A = this chain, B = another copy of it.
Amino acid sequence: MKRLYYPLILLLAAHTLMAQEVSQEAMQKIRKEGLENSKVADIAFRLTDASGPRLTNSPGYQRAAEWSVDQLKKWGLQNARLEEWGEFGKGWQVEKSYIAMTKPYYMPFIAIPKAWTGGTSGPITGEVVVVDINQEEDLKKYEGKLRDKIILIKGEANTAPTFKADAVRYTSEDLDKMADSEAFGSRNFTPEMLERYRAMRTFRNRVDSFLLAQKVKMEIVARQGKHGTFFTSNGASFRGDAPEPGPSFEMAPEHAYLMARLAENGIPVTVEADIKTTFYNKLTSSNVIAEIPGTDPKLKDEVVMLGAHLDSWHGATGATDNAAGSTVMMEVIRILQTTGLKPKRTIRIALWSGEEQGLYGSRNYVKNTFGDPQTMKLKPAHEKLSAYYNIDNGTGRIRGVYLQGNEAVRPIFEKWLAPFADIIDHPTVTLRNTGGTDHVSFDALGLPGFQFIQDGIEYGSRTHHTNVDTYERLVMDDLKQMATIVAAFVYNTAQMDQKLPRKPLPKAPDSVGR
């Protein structure tokens, strides 16, 4: 139905573009290199195990970013560099993390300090007080009563047995539904959801300030998860001028609830703990940028971009979120370099920082390079970008692509997927959006930014922002497949006679309603 109403001009443009054949020889080279000589396991090892957690502006992020620049240089890329994009806030890392119950008996606990919180200044011990704060009025009853206490905030984790598999792949029916849907914004928030989210954030900040003012000795918060897995939170403020919060553990719900049940049954609970964290005051942050220069005199000033965020949360080594995407994009570059294919347009890789806190790296890169989405004042480079491809949905193989509402690219992407039908089960192109990550920064300025449909695997159940998002969570065969297909998309985009068709430019938010 949507097609009927789509501007005729774009349909005609799409039809013209459809006529352009892709080089099957190039596709064969990419396929061979990507599937038979893959280096995804090595790249992923460097970005996860060897770098560690990659919280933005932490030493771990820096290690990963520097290794990436170095590796890109070794592969012969041009202009490989760390590019500062502006001020992010403080770096932070954990240097000691220990908590165990010592009474009524000894038990070590699974927990990690909340991001951007402080330390205990050496080992501490104390009785645990369960605190039940769910609304503003609850604060009053604790006013003046929590000084020097170790408090436990329960939250509401669902620890019931899971009768559904942790790991899932899309069925053909799932994909057909996704393709048929009239809904564009499947992963976007409704105004009501945003309102609830903002209210929750405001209340959480209120609670944080309250507890800071109460001078509690340490805070323990039960998080969602089960079986030793838990999901870390968005942490405390990383702003340069934010006060340093007291020590705070995020904990597997089983261990937090054990303490809560004991205390609520009148059995005193004592813990011992030791947290050391370090803050870093270099507030500016950098993305990794590098290029394969274009070779066609008329087209080499035009650019095809590919990227993924390199930063992670701090509870593990951020394997599926998002070493997976960064690994794939690095491997795409390696495939393109190794096959010796000479792209007509310039190909530029970007590995972003600050994605987890609000797409900072990509948003600022777009603003610095292409224009300001707030005013829609565009820079000359805006005209030169054909497309940006992003990966940030975990380790699952590609099953198709989201058009992000850009119907005109449908026939092009369908053609590009076709040679890989043997390694894509039920290839699917959907008009839908996918949101929440860095292609949105491009889309907001009317630049074609795309993500792929990926099998979920364990992303929602076990890996996304958890303490167990480690190298083990990566499915190497899926990463190989992804790199092969993305390499084809990037190369084909670089070789087209024209840039990819664009959606109409969005209106500047600043101009709306004036």
Closest B residue to A478 by beta carbon equals B161
Is A358 part of the binding interface, using a Cβ–Cβ cutoff of 8 Å?
A: no
Is A457 part of the binding interface, using a Cβ–Cβ cutoff of 8 Å?
A: yes
Say which residue of B94, B164, B467 sits within 8 Å of A228 (CB atoms): B467
Is A227 part of the binding interface, using a Cβ–Cβ cutoff of 8 Å?
A: yes
Residues from chain B with a CB closer than 8 A to the CB of A59 are 105
Within 8 A of B (CB), among A76-102: 93-98, 100
For the complex, give the distance between the alpha carbons of A63 and B473 in Å. 40
Residues from chain B with a CB closer than 8 A to the CB of A460 are none
- Of A22-30, A261-269, A379-387, A425-433, the stretch lying at the interface with chain B is A261-269
For the complex, give the distance between the alpha carbons of A226 and B472 in Å. 9
For the complex, give the distance between the alpha carbons of A257 and B48 in Å. 12
Residues from chain B with a CB closer than 8 A to the CB of A267 are 50
- Of A106-114, A200-208, A211-219, A410-418, the stretch lying at the interface with chain B is A106-114
Is A492 part of the binding interface, using a Cβ–Cβ cutoff of 8 Å?
A: no
Is A167 part of the binding interface, using a Cβ–Cβ cutoff of 8 Å?
A: yes
Say which residue of B49, B98, B163, B471 sits within 8 Å of A168 (CB atoms): B163
A45 x B472 contact (CB < 8 A): no
For the complex, give the distance between the alpha carbons of A50 and B254 in Å. 14
Is A317 part of the binding interface, using a Cβ–Cβ cutoff of 8 Å?
A: yes
CB distance from A53 to the nearest CB of B (A): 8
A165 x B167 contact (CB < 8 A): no
Number of interface residues of A (CB under 8 A): 60
Q: Mark A41-72, 1 if CB is under 8 A from B, else 0.
A: 00001000110110000011001000000000
Q: Mark A463-502, 1 if CB is under 8 A from B, else 0.
A: 0000110111101000000000000000000000000000
Residues from chain B with a CB closer than 8 A to the CB of A371 are none
B161 x A473 contact (CB < 8 A): yes
Closest B residue to A107 by beta carbon equals B52
Is A148 part of the binding interface, using a Cβ–Cβ cutoff of 8 Å?
A: no
For the complex, give the distance between the alpha carbons of A230 and B473 in Å. 15
Closest B residue to A463 by beta carbon equals B227
For the complex, give the distance between the alpha carbons of A227 and B226 in Å. 9
For the complex, give the distance between the alpha carbons of A60 and B107 in Å. 11
B471 x A227 contact (CB < 8 A): no
A462 x B50 contact (CB < 8 A): no
Is A104 part of the binding interface, using a Cβ–Cβ cutoff of 8 Å?
A: yes
Residues from chain B with a CB closer than 8 A to the CB of A110 are 110, 228
A258 x B49 contact (CB < 8 A): yes
For the complex, give the distance between the alpha carbons of A475 and B163 in Å. 13
Is A245 part of the binding interface, using a Cβ–Cβ cutoff of 8 Å?
A: no
B49 x A262 contact (CB < 8 A): yes
Closest B residue to A458 by beta carbon equals B161
For the complex, give the distance between the alpha carbons of A98 and B273 in Å. 11
B165 x A164 contact (CB < 8 A): yes
Known: A165-B162, A473-B161. A100 touches B97 (CB 8 A): yes
For the complex, give the distance between the alpha carbons of A93 and B105 in Å. 10
Is A244 part of the binding interface, using a Cβ–Cβ cutoff of 8 Å?
A: no
For the complex, give the distance between the alpha carbons of A257 and B474 in Å. 14
Residues from chain B with a CB closer than 8 A to the CB of A470 are 254-255, 258
Is A159 part of the binding interface, using a Cβ–Cβ cutoff of 8 Å?
A: yes
B161 x A105 contact (CB < 8 A): no
Is A361 part of the binding interface, using a Cβ–Cβ cutoff of 8 Å?
A: no
A472 x B166 contact (CB < 8 A): no
Residues from chain B with a CB closer than 8 A to the CB of A471 are 254, 257-258, 261
Residues from chain B with a CB closer than 8 A to the CB of A261 are 45, 49, 471
Q: Mark A337-381, 1 if CB is under 8 A from B, else 0.
A: 000000000000000000000000000000000000000000000
Residues from chain B with a CB closer than 8 A to the CB of A128 are none
For the complex, give the distance between the alpha carbons of A106 and B58 in Å. 12
What 7 A-B pairs come out closest when comparing CB atoms?
A: A228-B228, A161-B167, A159-B472, A52-B105, A97-B108, A254-B470, A227-B229
State the A residues within 8 Å of B (CB).
Answer: 45, 49-50, 52-53, 59-60, 63, 93-98, 100, 104-108, 110, 112, 159-169, 226-230, 252-255, 257-258, 261-262, 265, 267, 316-317, 457-458, 462, 467-468, 470-473, 475
17 sampled A-B residue pairs with Cβ under 8 A: A94-B106, A94-B107, A98-B98, A98-B100, A162-B458, A163-B169, A165-B165, A166-B166, A227-B229, A227-B458, A227-B468, A228-B228, A228-B230, A254-B470, A254-B472, A257-B471, A258-B471
